[in-house]
Chain A
Amino acid sequence: MYQPGILVRRKRVWKPWTVALITVALLLALAVLIGLLVYFLVYDEKTHYYQASFWIPSINYSSDLSKEQSKFRTGLKQKISNEIDVIFQRSSLKHHYVKSQVVNFRPSNDGVKADVLIKFQIPRKNAGTLKRQADNILQEKLQSSQSILKRDASLPYLREMNAAQAEHILNSDCGSGMEYPPIAR
Protein backbone atom coordinates (compact mmCIF):
# COMPACT_ATOMS: atom_id res chain seq x y z
CA MET A 1 0.00 0.00 0.00
CA TYR A 2 1.29 3.38 -0.94
CA GLN A 3 2.10 5.59 1.95
CA PRO A 4 2.97 9.13 1.18
CA GLY A 5 6.35 10.05 2.57
CA ILE A 6 6.50 12.54 5.32
CA LEU A 7 8.28 15.60 4.17
CA VAL A 8 10.33 17.16 6.83
CA ARG A 9 11.46 20.62 5.91
CA ARG A 10 14.91 20.92 7.19
CA LYS A 11 15.85 24.39 8.06
CA ARG A 12 19.43 25.23 7.13
CA VAL A 13 21.11 26.61 10.20
CA TRP A 14 24.43 28.48 9.72
CA LYS A 15 26.90 27.94 12.45
CA PRO A 16 28.24 31.21 13.89
CA TRP A 17 31.84 30.52 12.84
CA THR A 18 30.73 29.98 9.23
CA VAL A 19 28.89 33.29 9.24
CA ALA A 20 31.95 35.02 10.66
CA LEU A 21 34.21 33.39 8.07
CA ILE A 22 31.98 34.35 5.15
CA THR A 23 31.66 37.93 6.45
CA VAL A 24 35.42 38.27 6.80
CA ALA A 25 35.96 36.83 3.31
CA LEU A 26 33.42 39.24 1.79
CA LEU A 27 34.95 42.21 3.57
CA LEU A 28 38.41 41.17 2.40
CA ALA A 29 37.26 40.85 -1.21
CA LEU A 30 35.61 44.27 -0.96
CA ALA A 31 38.78 45.79 0.49
CA VAL A 32 40.90 44.29 -2.32
CA LEU A 33 38.44 45.60 -4.92
CA ILE A 34 38.46 49.10 -3.43
CA GLY A 35 42.26 48.97 -3.13
CA LEU A 36 42.64 48.01 -6.77
CA LEU A 37 40.25 50.73 -7.86
CA VAL A 38 42.10 53.35 -5.80
CA TYR A 39 45.44 52.08 -7.15
CA PHE A 40 44.38 52.27 -10.78
CA LEU A 41 42.64 55.60 -10.39
CA VAL A 42 45.16 57.38 -8.20
CA TYR A 43 48.55 55.70 -8.34
CA ASP A 44 48.74 53.80 -11.65
CA GLU A 45 50.96 56.01 -13.73
CA LYS A 46 51.10 56.36 -17.46
CA THR A 47 54.14 57.62 -19.30
CA HIS A 48 53.62 60.54 -21.65
CA TYR A 49 56.14 61.84 -24.15
CA TYR A 50 56.04 65.29 -25.69
CA GLN A 51 58.18 66.86 -28.34
CA ALA A 52 58.93 70.56 -28.03
CA SER A 53 60.99 72.95 -30.06
CA PHE A 54 63.07 75.74 -28.53
CA TRP A 55 64.80 78.68 -30.08
CA ILE A 56 68.27 79.65 -28.81
CA PRO A 57 69.03 83.14 -30.17
CA SER A 58 72.34 83.48 -28.30
CA ILE A 59 74.06 80.67 -30.21
CA ASN A 60 74.98 80.52 -33.87
CA TYR A 61 74.58 77.22 -35.66
CA SER A 62 77.85 75.45 -36.41
CA SER A 63 78.53 72.17 -38.20
CA ASP A 64 79.83 70.82 -34.86
CA LEU A 65 76.20 70.63 -33.74
CA SER A 66 75.58 67.90 -36.31
CA LYS A 67 78.61 65.84 -35.20
CA GLU A 68 77.32 63.30 -32.72
CA GLN A 69 80.26 63.25 -30.34
CA SER A 70 81.49 66.83 -30.65
CA LYS A 71 82.09 68.58 -27.34
CA PHE A 72 80.01 71.57 -28.44
CA ARG A 73 76.99 69.37 -29.24
CA THR A 74 77.19 67.21 -26.09
CA GLY A 75 77.81 70.29 -23.92
CA LEU A 76 74.85 72.21 -25.37
CA LYS A 77 72.59 69.15 -25.11
CA GLN A 78 73.48 68.82 -21.44
CA LYS A 79 72.95 72.54 -20.79
CA ILE A 80 69.49 72.49 -22.39
CA SER A 81 68.47 69.34 -20.50
CA ASN A 82 69.67 70.91 -17.24
CA GLU A 83 67.59 74.06 -17.91
CA ILE A 84 64.46 72.02 -18.60
CA ASP A 85 65.19 69.90 -15.49
CA VAL A 86 65.29 73.08 -13.39
CA ILE A 87 62.08 74.43 -14.92
CA PHE A 88 60.03 71.32 -14.15
CA GLN A 89 61.72 70.41 -10.87
CA ARG A 90 60.63 73.81 -9.51
CA SER A 91 57.07 73.44 -10.76
CA SER A 92 53.84 71.71 -9.79
CA LEU A 93 54.86 68.86 -12.12
CA LYS A 94 58.07 68.14 -10.19
CA HIS A 95 56.83 64.69 -9.09
CA HIS A 96 55.79 63.75 -12.62
CA TYR A 97 58.67 65.07 -14.71
CA VAL A 98 61.09 62.25 -15.62
CA LYS A 99 63.64 63.67 -18.04
CA SER A 100 64.28 65.58 -21.22
CA GLN A 101 66.65 64.96 -24.09
CA VAL A 102 67.70 67.06 -27.04
CA VAL A 103 67.18 64.97 -30.15
CA ASN A 104 68.18 67.39 -32.85
CA PHE A 105 69.65 70.81 -33.57
CA ARG A 106 68.52 72.83 -36.58
CA PRO A 107 69.92 76.04 -38.03
CA SER A 108 67.68 79.06 -37.82
CA ASN A 109 67.98 82.57 -39.32
CA ASP A 110 68.74 84.05 -35.95
CA GLY A 111 70.28 81.31 -33.82
CA VAL A 112 69.72 77.59 -33.33
CA LYS A 113 66.57 75.52 -32.89
CA ALA A 114 66.59 72.48 -30.61
CA ASP A 115 64.04 69.68 -30.77
CA VAL A 116 63.59 68.23 -27.31
CA LEU A 117 61.76 65.15 -26.07
CA ILE A 118 60.22 65.50 -22.60
CA LYS A 119 59.05 62.49 -20.55
CA PHE A 120 56.46 62.59 -17.76
CA GLN A 121 54.85 59.92 -15.59
CA ILE A 122 51.48 60.88 -14.21
CA PRO A 123 48.50 59.06 -12.67
CA ARG A 124 45.89 58.24 -15.30
CA LYS A 125 43.28 60.42 -13.58
CA ASN A 126 45.45 63.54 -14.05
CA ALA A 127 46.65 62.79 -17.55
CA GLY A 128 44.03 64.95 -19.23
CA THR A 129 45.47 68.18 -17.89
CA LEU A 130 49.16 67.33 -18.19
CA LYS A 131 49.79 68.85 -21.60
CA ARG A 132 48.12 72.14 -20.68
CA GLN A 133 49.97 72.30 -17.34
CA ALA A 134 53.36 71.55 -18.92
CA ASP A 135 52.70 74.07 -21.67
CA ASN A 136 51.79 76.79 -19.16
CA ILE A 137 54.84 76.08 -17.01
CA LEU A 138 57.20 76.31 -19.97
CA GLN A 139 55.58 79.47 -21.27
CA GLU A 140 55.68 81.18 -17.89
CA LYS A 141 59.24 80.16 -16.95
CA LEU A 142 60.76 80.90 -20.36
CA GLN A 143 59.26 84.41 -20.35
CA SER A 144 60.36 85.31 -16.87
CA SER A 145 63.76 83.58 -16.51
CA GLN A 146 67.20 84.31 -17.84
CA SER A 147 67.16 80.98 -19.70
CA ILE A 148 68.99 80.71 -23.02
CA LEU A 149 65.87 78.94 -24.29
CA LYS A 150 63.04 80.82 -25.95
CA ARG A 151 59.77 79.59 -27.36
CA ASP A 152 59.90 78.50 -30.97
CA ALA A 153 56.80 80.19 -32.25
CA SER A 154 57.01 78.50 -35.65
CA LEU A 155 55.73 75.13 -34.36
CA PRO A 156 52.85 73.95 -32.16
CA TYR A 157 54.31 73.80 -28.67
CA LEU A 158 54.04 70.37 -27.04
CA ARG A 159 53.27 67.55 -29.43
CA GLU A 160 52.45 64.14 -27.90
CA MET A 161 54.55 61.25 -29.20
CA ASN A 162 53.95 57.53 -29.50
CA ALA A 163 55.75 55.67 -26.65
CA ALA A 164 57.77 53.17 -28.73
CA GLN A 165 58.95 55.89 -31.10
CA ALA A 166 59.78 58.18 -28.19
CA GLU A 167 61.77 55.46 -26.38
CA HIS A 168 63.60 54.78 -29.66
CA ILE A 169 64.61 58.44 -29.80
CA LEU A 170 65.46 58.64 -26.09
CA ASN A 171 67.76 55.64 -26.47
CA SER A 172 69.26 56.70 -29.77
CA ASP A 173 72.42 58.06 -28.16
CA CYS A 174 75.22 55.52 -28.38
CA GLY A 175 77.09 53.78 -25.62
CA SER A 176 74.90 54.00 -22.55
CA GLY A 177 75.19 50.73 -20.69
CA MET A 178 76.58 49.57 -17.38
CA GLU A 179 77.54 52.40 -15.03
CA TYR A 180 81.26 52.17 -14.65
CA PRO A 181 83.35 52.65 -12.64
CA PRO A 182 80.96 52.00 -9.78
CA ILE A 183 80.44 55.07 -7.62
CA ALA A 184 82.22 54.70 -4.29
CA ARG A 185 79.88 54.75 -1.30
Chain B
Amino acid sequence: IADGKPADKASWPWQSSLQVEGIHLCGASLIGSQWLVTSAHCFDNYKNPKLWTVSFGRTLSSPLTTRKVESIIVHENYASHKHDDDIAVVKLSSPVLFSENLHRVCLPDATFQVLPKSKVFVTGWGALKANGPFPNSLQEVEIEIISNDVCNQVNVYGGAISSGMICAGFLTGKLDACEGDSGGPLVISDNRNKWYLLGIVSWGIDCGKENKPGIYTRVTHYRDWIKSKTSI
Protein backbone atom coordinates (compact mmCIF):
# COMPACT_ATOMS: atom_id res chain seq x y z
CA ILE B 1 0.00 0.00 0.00
CA ALA B 2 1.52 3.31 -1.12
CA ASP B 3 1.12 6.27 1.27
CA GLY B 4 -1.11 4.34 3.68
CA LYS B 5 -0.83 3.72 7.40
CA PRO B 6 -0.69 0.66 9.66
CA ALA B 7 -4.14 -0.79 10.31
CA ASP B 8 -5.56 -1.06 13.83
CA LYS B 9 -6.21 -4.44 15.39
CA ALA B 10 -9.49 -6.00 14.23
CA SER B 11 -10.11 -3.27 11.62
CA TRP B 12 -9.95 -5.66 8.67
CA PRO B 13 -10.56 -9.13 10.15
CA TRP B 14 -11.19 -10.78 6.75
CA GLN B 15 -7.78 -9.86 5.34
CA SER B 16 -5.55 -12.86 4.80
CA SER B 17 -2.13 -13.48 3.32
CA LEU B 18 -1.42 -16.12 0.67
CA GLN B 19 2.08 -17.49 1.13
CA VAL B 20 4.47 -19.90 -0.55
CA GLU B 21 7.29 -21.22 1.65
CA GLY B 22 6.40 -18.62 4.27
CA ILE B 23 6.75 -15.71 1.84
CA HIS B 24 3.74 -13.40 1.41
CA LEU B 25 2.80 -13.29 -2.26
CA CYS B 26 -0.80 -12.06 -2.34
CA GLY B 27 -3.70 -10.84 -0.24
CA ALA B 28 -7.12 -12.48 -0.04
CA SER B 29 -10.47 -11.95 1.70
CA LEU B 30 -12.31 -14.42 3.91
CA ILE B 31 -15.90 -14.80 2.66
CA GLY B 32 -16.88 -17.93 4.61
CA SER B 33 -15.28 -20.07 7.28
CA GLN B 34 -13.56 -22.14 4.59
CA TRP B 35 -13.44 -19.83 1.55
CA LEU B 36 -11.31 -16.91 0.34
CA VAL B 37 -11.64 -14.68 -2.70
CA THR B 38 -8.48 -13.45 -4.39
CA SER B 39 -6.97 -12.62 -7.80
CA ALA B 40 -6.44 -15.30 -10.41
CA HIS B 41 -3.02 -13.88 -11.36
CA CYS B 42 -1.70 -14.82 -7.90
CA PHE B 43 -1.55 -18.39 -9.19
CA ASP B 44 0.23 -17.70 -12.50
CA ASN B 45 3.48 -19.20 -11.19
CA TYR B 46 2.34 -21.58 -8.46
CA LYS B 47 -0.78 -23.53 -9.38
CA ASN B 48 -0.43 -26.43 -6.96
CA PRO B 49 -2.62 -25.84 -3.88
CA LYS B 50 -0.20 -27.86 -1.72
CA LEU B 51 2.41 -25.12 -2.10
CA TRP B 52 0.20 -22.49 -0.49
CA THR B 53 -0.58 -21.58 3.08
CA VAL B 54 -2.92 -18.88 4.31
CA SER B 55 -2.19 -16.71 7.33
CA PHE B 56 -4.70 -14.60 9.27
CA GLY B 57 -3.99 -11.72 11.62
CA ARG B 58 -2.58 -8.23 11.35
CA THR B 59 1.11 -9.14 11.36
CA LEU B 60 2.81 -11.65 9.09
CA SER B 61 5.42 -12.63 11.69
CA SER B 62 2.91 -13.61 14.40
CA PRO B 63 -0.31 -14.77 12.72
CA LEU B 64 -3.53 -15.47 14.62
CA THR B 65 -3.85 -18.75 12.79
CA THR B 66 -2.82 -20.43 9.54
CA ARG B 67 -4.42 -22.94 7.20
CA LYS B 68 -3.29 -25.08 4.30
CA VAL B 69 -5.06 -24.76 0.97
CA GLU B 70 -7.28 -27.58 -0.19
CA SER B 71 -8.15 -26.28 -3.65
CA ILE B 72 -7.81 -23.25 -5.91
CA ILE B 73 -10.53 -22.40 -8.44
CA VAL B 74 -9.40 -19.86 -11.04
CA HIS B 75 -12.02 -18.21 -13.26
CA GLU B 76 -12.41 -20.29 -16.41
CA ASN B 77 -11.94 -17.29 -18.72
CA TYR B 78 -8.83 -15.94 -17.02
CA ALA B 79 -5.67 -15.86 -19.09
CA SER B 80 -2.36 -14.64 -17.71
CA HIS B 81 -1.60 -12.44 -20.73
CA LYS B 82 -4.64 -10.22 -20.05
CA HIS B 83 -6.32 -8.59 -17.06
CA ASP B 84 -9.95 -9.73 -17.53
CA ASP B 85 -11.67 -12.19 -15.16
CA ASP B 86 -8.84 -11.84 -12.64
CA ILE B 87 -10.63 -13.70 -9.85
CA ALA B 88 -10.18 -16.99 -8.00
CA VAL B 89 -11.61 -18.66 -4.93
CA VAL B 90 -9.54 -20.67 -2.48
CA LYS B 91 -10.88 -23.45 -0.26
CA LEU B 92 -9.08 -23.91 3.06
CA SER B 93 -8.10 -27.37 4.29
CA SER B 94 -10.30 -26.85 7.37
CA PRO B 95 -12.67 -24.07 8.47
CA VAL B 96 -11.47 -21.22 10.68
CA LEU B 97 -13.24 -20.35 13.92
CA PHE B 98 -14.53 -16.80 13.74
CA SER B 99 -13.53 -14.34 16.46
CA GLU B 100 -13.45 -10.58 16.92
CA ASN B 101 -10.18 -10.47 14.97
CA LEU B 102 -11.01 -13.04 12.33
CA HIS B 103 -14.28 -13.11 10.42
CA ARG B 104 -15.73 -12.71 6.99
CA VAL B 105 -16.46 -9.71 4.80
CA CYS B 106 -19.91 -9.28 3.22
CA LEU B 107 -20.35 -9.92 -0.47
CA PRO B 108 -22.52 -7.33 -2.24
CA ASP B 109 -25.50 -8.38 -4.32
CA ALA B 110 -24.91 -8.37 -8.06
CA THR B 111 -27.18 -5.30 -8.25
CA PHE B 112 -25.15 -3.26 -5.72
CA GLN B 113 -24.29 0.13 -7.23
CA VAL B 114 -21.40 2.35 -6.21
CA LEU B 115 -21.07 5.99 -7.20
CA PRO B 116 -17.89 7.72 -8.32
CA LYS B 117 -16.16 9.57 -5.43
CA SER B 118 -17.46 7.00 -2.90
CA LYS B 119 -14.92 6.49 -0.13
CA VAL B 120 -13.41 3.00 -0.03
CA PHE B 121 -10.45 1.32 1.66
CA VAL B 122 -7.80 -0.96 0.25
CA THR B 123 -5.57 -3.00 2.55
CA GLY B 124 -2.56 -5.27 2.25
CA TRP B 125 1.01 -6.23 3.02
CA GLY B 126 2.25 -5.09 -0.40
CA ALA B 127 5.15 -2.72 -1.09
CA LEU B 128 5.06 0.73 0.54
CA LYS B 129 6.00 2.30 -2.83
CA ALA B 130 6.99 1.07 -6.30
CA ASN B 131 10.03 -1.20 -5.82
CA GLY B 132 9.89 -0.31 -2.14
CA PRO B 133 10.09 -2.38 1.06
CA PHE B 134 7.36 -4.73 2.26
CA PRO B 135 5.80 -4.24 5.71
CA ASN B 136 5.20 -6.87 8.37
CA SER B 137 2.08 -5.12 9.64
CA LEU B 138 -1.10 -4.74 7.56
CA GLN B 139 -1.45 -1.32 5.88
CA GLU B 140 -4.63 0.54 4.90
CA VAL B 141 -5.43 3.53 2.73
CA GLU B 142 -8.65 5.38 2.01
CA ILE B 143 -9.24 6.11 -1.66
CA GLU B 144 -12.14 7.05 -3.96
CA ILE B 145 -14.04 5.25 -6.68
CA ILE B 146 -13.30 6.66 -10.12
CA SER B 147 -15.79 6.00 -12.92
CA ASN B 148 -14.77 3.60 -15.67
CA ASP B 149 -15.38 6.43 -18.17
CA VAL B 150 -12.76 8.62 -16.48
CA CYS B 151 -10.36 5.69 -16.15
CA ASN B 152 -10.77 4.86 -19.82
CA GLN B 153 -9.67 8.35 -20.92
CA VAL B 154 -6.66 8.38 -23.24
CA ASN B 155 -4.35 9.93 -20.64
CA VAL B 156 -5.41 7.42 -17.97
CA TYR B 157 -5.80 3.80 -19.12
CA GLY B 158 -7.06 4.53 -22.64
CA GLY B 159 -9.91 2.02 -22.89
CA ALA B 160 -8.33 -0.89 -21.03
CA ILE B 161 -10.96 -0.90 -18.29
CA SER B 162 -13.78 -3.39 -18.93
CA SER B 163 -17.14 -3.76 -17.15
CA GLY B 164 -15.67 -6.47 -14.88
CA MET B 165 -13.17 -3.97 -13.49
CA ILE B 166 -13.53 -1.05 -11.11
CA CYS B 167 -11.14 1.83 -10.84
CA ALA B 168 -10.19 3.45 -7.49
CA GLY B 169 -7.61 5.89 -6.23
CA PHE B 170 -6.82 9.46 -7.23
CA LEU B 171 -5.79 10.83 -10.60
CA THR B 172 -3.33 12.97 -8.65
CA GLY B 173 -1.58 9.77 -7.58
CA LYS B 174 0.07 8.95 -4.23
CA LEU B 175 -2.55 6.86 -2.37
CA ASP B 176 -2.75 3.45 -4.04
CA ALA B 177 -2.36 -0.31 -3.80
CA CYS B 178 1.00 -1.71 -4.86
CA GLU B 179 2.93 -4.88 -5.67
CA GLY B 180 2.01 -7.65 -3.20
CA ASP B 181 -1.45 -6.22 -2.47
CA SER B 182 -2.90 -8.25 -5.36
CA GLY B 183 -5.86 -10.39 -4.39
CA GLY B 184 -6.59 -8.21 -1.37
CA PRO B 185 -9.84 -6.41 -0.60
CA LEU B 186 -11.25 -3.08 -1.72
CA VAL B 187 -14.10 -2.51 0.72
CA ILE B 188 -16.93 -0.04 1.24
CA SER B 189 -18.99 0.57 4.38
CA ASP B 190 -22.76 0.88 4.34
CA ASN B 191 -24.69 3.13 6.70
CA ARG B 192 -24.91 0.32 9.29
CA ASN B 193 -21.12 0.00 9.48
CA LYS B 194 -21.04 -3.24 7.55
CA TRP B 195 -18.16 -3.67 5.12
CA TYR B 196 -18.71 -5.08 1.63
CA LEU B 197 -16.11 -6.48 -0.73
CA LEU B 198 -16.37 -4.23 -3.74
CA GLY B 199 -13.12 -5.07 -5.52
CA ILE B 200 -10.08 -7.32 -5.60
CA VAL B 201 -6.66 -5.74 -6.14
CA SER B 202 -5.80 -6.64 -9.73
CA TRP B 203 -3.47 -4.35 -11.66
CA GLY B 204 -2.17 -0.84 -12.33
CA ILE B 205 0.83 0.94 -13.78
CA ASP B 206 3.43 1.62 -11.11
CA CYS B 207 2.05 2.61 -7.67
CA GLY B 208 0.63 5.99 -6.70
CA LYS B 209 1.54 7.43 -10.10
CA GLU B 210 -0.41 10.39 -11.49
CA ASN B 211 -3.25 9.33 -13.84
CA LYS B 212 -2.58 5.66 -13.05
CA PRO B 213 -5.00 4.66 -10.27
CA GLY B 214 -5.51 1.08 -9.16
CA ILE B 215 -7.70 -1.32 -11.11
CA TYR B 216 -9.72 -3.88 -9.19
CA THR B 217 -11.83 -6.87 -10.19
CA ARG B 218 -15.46 -5.74 -9.81
CA VAL B 219 -16.96 -8.24 -7.34
CA THR B 220 -20.61 -7.51 -8.23
CA HIS B 221 -19.82 -8.59 -11.80
CA TYR B 222 -18.65 -11.98 -10.52
CA ARG B 223 -21.18 -12.45 -7.71
CA ASP B 224 -22.98 -15.31 -9.44
CA TRP B 225 -19.67 -16.98 -10.34
CA ILE B 226 -18.59 -16.85 -6.67
CA LYS B 227 -21.92 -18.35 -5.63
CA SER B 228 -21.60 -21.12 -8.23
CA LYS B 229 -18.20 -22.16 -6.86
CA THR B 230 -18.65 -21.69 -3.12
CA SER B 231 -22.43 -21.68 -2.52
CA ILE B 232 -21.88 -18.39 -0.63
Contact = CB atoms under 8 A, between A and B. Distances in A.
Interface in A113-143: none
A156 interface: no
Interface-centre pick from A178, A180, A181 (highest chain B CB count, 10 A): A178
Given A176-B193, A176-B194, A177-B12, A69 B98 contact: no
Interface in B86-130: 97-100, 102-107, 109, 119, 121
Interface residues of A, number: 19
A176 B102 CA distance: 10
Contact of A171 (B100, B105, B106, B193): B100
Nearest to B191: A181
Contacts of B196: 175
B99 A177 contact: no
Interface in A122-169: 164-165, 167-169
B34 to A, nearest CB: 13
Q: Is the interface of A mostly helix, strand, loop or mixed?
A: loop
Contacts of A167: 97-100
Nearest to A165: B97
B12 A178 contact: yes
A176 B103 contact: yes
Interface residues of B, number: 29
A178 B11 contact: yes
B13 interface: yes
Interface in B1-55: 7-8, 10-14, 31, 33
Closest 7 CB pairs of A and B: A175-B106, A175-B194, A178-B11, A174-B106, A171-B98, A175-B195, A171-B103
25 contacts: A165-B97, A167-B97, A167-B99, A168-B97, A168-B98, A169-B98, A171-B98, A171-B100, A172-B104, A174-B104, A174-B105, A174-B106, A174-B194, A175-B194, A176-B13, A176-B103, A176-B194, A177-B10, A177-B12, A177-B187, A178-B7, A178-B189, A179-B193, A180-B121, A180-B193
Interface of A: 69, 74, 164-165, 167-181
Given A171-B13, A175-B196, 6 more contacts: A69-B106, A171-B99, A174-B105, A175-B106, A178-B7, A178-B195
